[in-house]
Structure 1
């Protein structure tokens, strides 16, 4: 599509994202880090949405600005574990065991399951290209990106409790909790595409975009008893990126 004017259109494509995530277990008294692990997941799936923009053409040079909004819903997750007591020991990495009259009951592991979803995203970008023929435009694009990220998780463990030196009031108490957090992140995007006119005021294009939404983080207290008898705190940090390949159709309303 060459020439100047406003345009709008629809697109559909495929996204393969990446989320590099770190999970932490900390003691609620002083926030001392007890355990940390790293992992990643790669949510993939179909995306779709629409775009609107304006182009200016001066001879072969074409400049423009475009905004788009995409539905996604792709998600993934990881599991983390804070180890219980090793053989011959009472306390685990994150939780205490119970000391009885003649023996002890070892601490048990704590499980943390985390899911993250890119619900939607959009961009506001500049476009700069060259009309390689009167009907074909090759362009680069880059600018602002933003997106809605939903993070949810659950923690489960067993508190081993009782008075030191006593075997009479020993208790194994299963505990669990969950959380959900929604945040809008702002980052950047860049890519390139090829667009060609196929009828009066109509064009089709193939476009690649890379999107970086930066880091999402959070933490919450759990009912699991930590080594200091304070609540165990779990936290996460994730870097969210996305690769998008999409096909679009545009209609130019007016111009030259």
Structure 2
């Protein structure tokens, strides 16, 4: 009988602790949107932004202004430890189309860029849901322009230009598949001759662009 009462007393003493264990809520394990290696693989996305384009026409002046850019990007990345590296391509529509008075103010000088794209290498550092990167590579664009005489005769020329682009950006993961990004890039399409009413040598096209985008990683 004595053993029975001792066992009962021990059970009663332990009951509050057992009850506390049964009803005490446990803190959930912390959730990280991304873990090591999850910035790797194929991805596809869309971006929209603003771009300031500058076309320098020797002897005539500078045509510059702001416009919108928007399009698609796709790439492939490898994630090893904290480093992320890979390649990315993009294609964009551009709204830049500006005109100024030529050196002879009776004439009008026009310049535009209506399509652009790039093929770039990327190298970055990722920590959980954040990824910061630099990028550089080949840039392409369809650019052109015209001169218009006082008699409203237009002389037009356009071509696909090749140059280079460099920039940096940051990405944040919303989950294991979806991510958002913000990016800045400078692009130099180099000097090219343009044949309008006369030959204009070394017409240079450069731009600064800010983009925001959203992507899906497969």
Q: TM-score range with shorter-chain normalisation?
A: 0.7 to 0.9
Other structure's SS at 1:43 match = strand
Per-residue deviation at 1:150?
A: 2.2
Cα distance in structure 2, aligned partners of 1:3 and 1:183: 37
Which structure exhibits the higher relative contact order, with contacts defined as CA atoms closer than 8 Å and separated by 6 or more residues?
Answer: 1
1:156-185: CA deviations, max 9, x gaps?
Answer: 3xxxxxxxxxxxxxxxxxx66321122000
Deviation digits for residues 131-168 of structure 1, max 9, x if unmatched? 1x211111000000000012122123xxxxxxxxxxxx
The reply on whether 1:136 has 2:130 as its aligned counterpart is: yes
Pick the structure with more strand per residue: 1
Higher helix share: 2
1:150 aligns to 2:144 (yes or no): yes
Q: Distance in 2 between matches of 1:61 and 1:246?
A: 23
1:120 aligned to which of 108, 115, 131: 115
| Match of residue 74 from structure 1 | 96
Query: Which deviations, in whole Å up to 9, do the C-alpha atoms of 1:96-118 show, x marking residues without a partner?
Result: xxxxxxxxxxxxxx833210110
1:80 is displaced (CA, Å) by 2.4
Change (3 A) 1:176 1:198: closer
* Aligned residues between the structures: 182
Q: Which structure 2 residues correspond to residues 87-106 of structure 1 after superposition, within 5 A?
A: none
RMSD: 1.9
The CA distance in 1 between the partners of 2:213 and 2:155, in whole Å, is: 38
Do the aligned partners of 2:146 and 2:196 also contact (CA within 8 Å) in 1? no
Distance 1:240 1:3 in 2: 34
Cα distance in 1 for partners of 2:115, 2:189 equals: 12
> What TM-score does the superposition give when structure 2 sets the normalisation length?
0.77
Q: Pick from 5, 8, 15: which aligns with 2:51?
A: 15
Gaps of 5+ in 1: 23-36, 83-109, 157-174, 222-232
**Structure with bigger gyration radius:** 2
Could you tell me which residue of structure 2 aligns to residue 32 of structure 1?
Answer: none
Unpaired runs of at least 5, structure 2: 1-33
